[in-house]
Every structure is written in structure tokens, then in C-alpha cells.
Amino acid sequence: MNIFYSKRFWTTLIIFVGLFFLRSQPYMTLPILFGSAIFFNAKTIYPLKNYKFWIVISLLVLIVPLFTGVQDKSILGINYSSEQFQKTLFMTLRGISVFLLFQVLTVDLHIDKIKPIFSKIGFNDFDVLFNLSNEIFPKIKSILNARYIDFKTNWKKGRSIELIFNFFSDIFIDFFLLSNQLSKADKDHEVMNPYDFLKQKKSTKPPNLIVVVGDAGTGKTPWVEQLVKLLKSNDEIVDGIISRKCHEPDDKWFHNLLRISTNNKRQLTTMDQIDTDIRIGKFNLYKNSVNWGNEQLVSIKNSKWVIVDEIGILEFDGGGFLKGLQSVVTNFEGFLVITIRQTLFQYLDNFINEKLPTVKQWQRVIINL
Amino acid sequence: MKRKSIVSIAVFGTLWGFIEATLGNALHLLNLPFSGSILASIALVIILIARIFNPARGSTFLMAIVAASIKAVSFATVKINPFIAIVMEGALIEVVLLILKPGRLGFFASGLIMALYPILQTIVTKTILFGSNFVPVVLELAEGFSSRVGLNAGWWILGFYLLAQIILPLLAAYFAWKLKAKLSSHLVN
């Protein structure tokens, strides 16, 4: 998007320019800055409601004039320096204004908006690292939990510095093992990366079914996302839906459903209780989002590549994104990429025979992660 | 970069990010003093041990990017301040370890940098917020408080604050050095 059409840019500019007028016209400038920030997004001023924000400011305005400068005035019998009071008052106004500036710059700025910046500056491993890190996160939590419980039990038996030292060294040993296991697991079977896959694909004719198979956490979605990126960079038309796992601040997970061609998204799952009868493991699915996903798949036209991430029990039972998938494969002459859990792979043939008979004749490629 | 290095960066970067996001946010909510130093010290131990395990150039900086991203995601929206702080910590330690290698000197120089960085960061962020008068006002306050209360109380408080900021990361560097010796059999790849 052009920066000059960005409301964030203009509000930031107004506040930045306002900072220069703050000293000469403080009482006129500050309401303008506040107004601009609220007009941009009311959330920008929410942190100001928190009392902690005012601790440093109160210290600055109330304490400094009492202990510094010439004590030329008095209030309730307490002497203070009016010059220092003016100085710290201005510092406070400036502090609030600069805080607003940063709030405008960062409010509602999600990690998805930050990620492309890293790619633009040439840091291509960021996506791989970030996705890998998302998958490792639950393992780290369980290692730390297990070690803490162990430590607590031993601590009750007898306290010593050695015990603390052992606690930390055990944690690190666990992480060395985890790191080794994850790297070896990859060495044991060489996974075809999307780049090599595309090179090999050049000689084959559509329609094709490409099945990306792997357990939870093996990187099926990152693999597909990398493929989409490569296809887009080759000017191929690619569409479909991706189910992206996201982390909430309170250690909960959810999935966003993303339409590839438009970047529109809906929250697909939650670990909270909601009014739904669609559940997979600990995740509850929003019915509206499932319907939305199907609508997106039905609306796909003239795309050479279609991605449907991820096919599972719901589709096998006739629900989930089956309706959309059936629409995609009708008269399709391109490459259909689906992802599926390792444990469900054995039922794929039956599923295709029963629910997607047109796909039976298609050439099939299996990518094992 | 080798797959093994990437996995190691992801594992230890995530561990660092996990600590920042859980313990860091808890310390922030409790408004405890020296929370920056406590977190920097834990981060330093992770960084130094991870660097021995995976001595690839740039690995510390990449770990910081992973940790900073996790920390940023742990808030409802991206917060620039903690993101920049973690990336800066990673970048500074990366430079130290590139120059001095992760030996005894490298460990303690990293500790010193990690000790001084939060102080520098406070000065820079508060100067950006409150203007160039911030540091002189703090010094005036220390002097004014000393002359009113006596016993150089203002200077003692300021000195204690700075010492506490410095001592924790230095102790962390010492702890990491001892831990390294204990883990030596696991660190040989």
C-alpha cells in the first residue's frame, strides 16, 4: 500500500510535527495530539489508564521540584522550585506526546505485518525459524514443566546450591537432546523442499494431486507456504486456503484460515468454549469460518495451483471443507496440493474413491515430511 | 546455514523468547525492580551456552530475532520497545563473541555488555521520551536529595541502583562459565 494513503503515516506526522510546537503552545498542542491519536485509533490511549504509566511521571513532577533548584514557592507549607516544576511539567507533556507517537506507530501492528519486512531486507530464514519456533514452543513448555516438578520434589527433600545448578544443567541437557533429535530426524529422511519439487514438476502434466504428509509439528503448513511464495515469484496463479497456527498470550493456540489470493482471513479454531459441535482434539471450530472456507474454495476460478490445508477427519466424515474441495476438483486442470496427518494417510485412498472420484485418475505425488 | 544450526537457533531462541514472554511479562505486571536485569541475566546464560553448543557466526543474533518475535507476539499487538531491546542485546553479544570468541574473556565481556546495556537503554528511551533534560534532572535530584537528607543519600541510592544493574549479569556470566564446565561432555559435537 502506498504510504501516503496510510492513516498511520499522517497521524504519526501530525504528532511528530506537534512535538516541535509543544514548548511554545503546550496547552493547545496537547489536545490536538490526543485528538489525532484517538481519531486514528482509540486504543492508542488505553495504556494511559494504567496507574503504572503515571509512576515515573509523578516522581518527575512531584519529587524533583522538592529537592532541586531554588525553593521559591510553597504549597501546603512545602517549599518547591517553580522553575524546576515548569521544567519537569514540560518533560511530562513531551513524554506523553512521544508515548502517543509510538502508540500510533505500533497499535494493531501484528506479527504478520512484520514478517514481510524481514523478507524484504533479505532475511529469508525468518519464516523458517519463526514457524519452527512455533512448533517447538509446546515442547519447551513441557520440558520446563517436567524439570520444575522434578526440582520441587528434590528441593523438599534437601536444599542446596548444587541442586539449583543441577536443575539448570538438566534443562540445558534436555535442550541439547531436543535440538539433536530435531536435526537428526531431518537427516534420516531427506525431505524434498518446495524448490526441488517445482523443478521436478516441470516435466509433468496436470491434473495432479500433491499430498503433503506429516505428523503434527513437522511443518506441513510452512512447506505449503514456501511453495506458495515460490509459485508467486514465478508468476504462477495460486489460490486456496491455508490453516495457520497462531499463539495467544495466555498459552493458548488457535488457527486462522487464510485465502491465498486475497489474504482475507477468519479465525477457524479456538481452545475456548464456543457454541459449536465441530471439534478436533482440543480445538473448537467456528461454523461460520468453515462455511466461509467452503465459499472461498467454491469461488476459485482459473487458478493453476490450488492449496487446501489441511484435510482430515471432518472431510472424511463428509464435513469440513469437503464441499469446497469437491467444487475445486470439478473440471480442474491444474495442480491440487493438500496436506494430511501421517496417521490419516492410510484412509486417503478410500476418501478419494468415495468423495472425490474424479481425482482417482490423477497423477499423484506424495511429499513425506 | 546448516540445518543443525537452524534447529539449534530455533530451539534456544524459542527458549529465550518463552522466558521473556512468561517470566518477563509476569515481572512487568508485578512492577518488580531490576526486572530488566533479571531477564537479561537469564538470557545471557541461554545465549552463552547455546553459542558453545552451536558456534555458528550470527547464531546469537538470529536467536535474538526469534526471541524478540515471540516476545512481540506475546502481547496483543507488536510492541516495538521489547522487540528492539532483545534484538539489540543479541546484536551486541554477537559482536563480542565474534571478536573475543566464547572463552572466559568472551563470557565476562558479554556479562559486562549485558550489564551496561539496560542502563544505556534506560537513558536512551527516557531521553527520547522526556527530552535531553532527563539525565541532568536525575543527577540534580541525586545531588539535591544528598544535600537535603545528608550522608550523600541520593548518590548512594543511584550508586546502589547502578551496582545492582551491573552485578546480576556479571554473576550470570560466571554461572554460565561454571555451567559450561559441567556440560562440557554434552557440548562436544
The CA-atom distances, in angstroms, between A76 and each of A61, A80, A313, B18 are 16, 11, 74, 50
Q: Say what angle helices A125-157 and B3-19 make with each other, to 10 degrees.
A: 60
Per-residue confidence (pLDDT) for residue B73, from 0 to 100: 65
DSSP result, A240-295: EEEEEEEE-TTS-EEEEEEETTT--EEE-EESS--S-S-EETTEEEPHHHHHHHHH
pTM of the model: 0.59
Residues 175-214 of A with CB under 8 A from B: 175-176, 178-179, 182-183, 186-187
A158 shares contact with chain B (CB less than 8 Å): no
A102 shares contact with chain B (CB less than 8 Å): yes
**Cβ neighbours of B143 in A, within 8 Å:** 68
Q: What is the mean pLDDT of residues B156-176?
A: 85
A349 shares contact with chain B (CB less than 8 Å): no
Interface test with A, best of B2, B69, B174 (most A CBs within 10 A): B69
A42 shares contact with chain B (CB less than 8 Å): no
- The answer, yes or no, to whether the previous bond of A225 is cis (omega within 30 of 0) is no
Question: Are the beta carbons of B102 and B51 closer than 8 angstroms?
Answer: yes
Per-residue confidence (pLDDT) for residue A280, from 0 to 100: 80
Reference B86, options B49, B60, B53, B108; nearest CA is B60
CA distance A346 to chain B (A): 30
Reference A329, options A349, A314, A308; nearest CA is A308
Distance of alpha carbon A107 from alpha carbon A93, whole angstroms: 21
Q: Can you give chain B as a three-state secondary structure string?
A: CCHHHHHHHHHHHHHHHHHHHHHHHHHHHHCCCCHHHHHHHHHHHHHHHHHHHCCCCCHHHHHHHHHHHHHHHCCCCCCHHHHHHHHHHHHHHHHHHHHHCCCHHHHHHHHHHHHHHHHHHHHHHHHHHHCCCHHHHHHHHHHHHHHHHCCCHHHHHHHHHHHHHHHHHHHHHHHHHHHHHHCHHHHCC
What is the grid cell recorded at A273?
468454549
Q: What is the mean pLDDT of residues B42-63?
A: 87
How do beta strands A238-247 and A208-214 pair? unpaired
Q: What is the ipTM of this complex?
A: 0.80
CB contact under 8 A, A125 and B144: no
Where residue B152 falls (left for φ over 0; alpha for ψ -120 to 50; beta otherwise) is left
Per-residue confidence (pLDDT) for residue A190, from 0 to 100: 57
CB contact under 8 A, B140 and A99: no
B47 shares contact with chain A (CB less than 8 Å): no
Per-residue confidence (pLDDT) for residue A203, from 0 to 100: 67
CB contact under 8 A, A102 and B3: no
Reference A238, options A303, A325, A332; nearest CA is A303
Distance of alpha carbon A200 from alpha carbon B150, whole angstroms: 81
Judge: domain A194-368, CATH 3.40.50.300.
yes
Distance of alpha carbon B115 from alpha carbon B112, whole angstroms: 5
The amino acid that residue B126 corresponds to is K
Collect all residues with Cβ–Cβ distance below 8 Å to A114 and sequence separation of at least 6. B69, B72, B78
Distance of alpha carbon B42 from alpha carbon A277, whole angstroms: 44
Q: Which of B3, B134, B179 sits opposite A169 (nearest CB)?
A: B179
All structural domains of chain A with their residue ranges: 3-109, 121-188, 194-368
Collect all residues with Cβ–Cβ distance below 8 Å to B189 and sequence separation of at least 6. B53
Question: Are the beta carbons of A249 and B75 closer than 8 angstroms?
Answer: yes
Angle (CA) B121-B125-B127 rounded to 5° is 115
Interface test with B, best of A16, A23, A175, A189 (most B CBs within 10 A): A175
Per-residue confidence (pLDDT) for residue A323, from 0 to 100: 93
**Cβ neighbours of B10 in A, within 8 Å:** 129, 132-133, 136
Q: How confident is residue B187, by pLDDT bands cut at 50, 70 and 90?
A: low
Interface test with B, best of A8, A60, A68 (most B CBs within 10 A): A68
CB contact under 8 A, B144 and A68: yes
Cα Rg, chain B, nearest whole Å? 18
What is the grid cell recorded at B154?
541520593
CB contact under 8 A, A91 and B133: yes
Per-residue confidence (pLDDT) for residue A242, from 0 to 100: 92
Mean pLDDT, rounded, of chain B: 80
CA atoms within 13 A on the CB side of A329: 21
Per-residue confidence (pLDDT) for residue B189, from 0 to 100: 46
B103 shares contact with chain A (CB less than 8 Å): no
Q: Say what angle helices B153-182 and B134-149 make with each other, to 10 degrees.
A: 120
Across the A:B interface, residue pairs with CB atoms under 8 Å apart total 144
Per-residue confidence (pLDDT) for residue A5, from 0 to 100: 73
Coil, strand, or helix at residue A336?
Answer: strand
Q: Which of A64, A144, A247 sits opposite B73 (nearest CB)?
A: A247
**Cβ neighbours of A67 in B, within 8 Å:** 141, 144-145, 148, 154
CA distance A94 to chain B (A): 6
Q: In which residue ranges of chain A is pLDDT below 50?
A: none
φ, ψ of residue A276 in degrees (nearest 5): -155, 150
Question: Are the beta carbons of A88 and A64 closer than 8 angstroms?
Answer: yes
What is the grid cell recorded at A12?
504519526
Where residue A257 falls (left for φ over 0; alpha for ψ -120 to 50; beta otherwise) is beta
Which of A50-64, A85-99, B24-38, B135-149 reaches the highest mean pLDDT? Answer: A85-99
Residue-wise pLDDT tens digits, A249-307: 555 678 889 999 898 999 998 888 888 888 887 788 999 999 999 999 999 988 899 99
Per-residue confidence (pLDDT) for residue A306, from 0 to 100: 93
Per-residue confidence (pLDDT) for residue B5, from 0 to 100: 80
CB contact under 8 A, A67 and B148: yes
Residues 125-144 of A with CB under 8 A from B: 125-126, 128-130, 132-133, 136-137, 140-141, 144
CB contact under 8 A, B8 and A179: yes
Q: How far apart are the first and last CA of chain B?
A: 17
**Cβ neighbours of A69 in B, within 8 Å:** 140, 144
B49 shares contact with chain A (CB less than 8 Å): yes
pLDDT of B176 > 70? The answer is yes
Q: Which of B7, B31, B183 sits opposite A183 (nearest CB)?
A: B7
CB contact under 8 A, A129 and B45: no
Q: Which of A118, A144, A182 sits opposite B11 (nearest CB)?
A: A182
Distance of alpha carbon A89 from alpha carbon A91, whole angstroms: 5
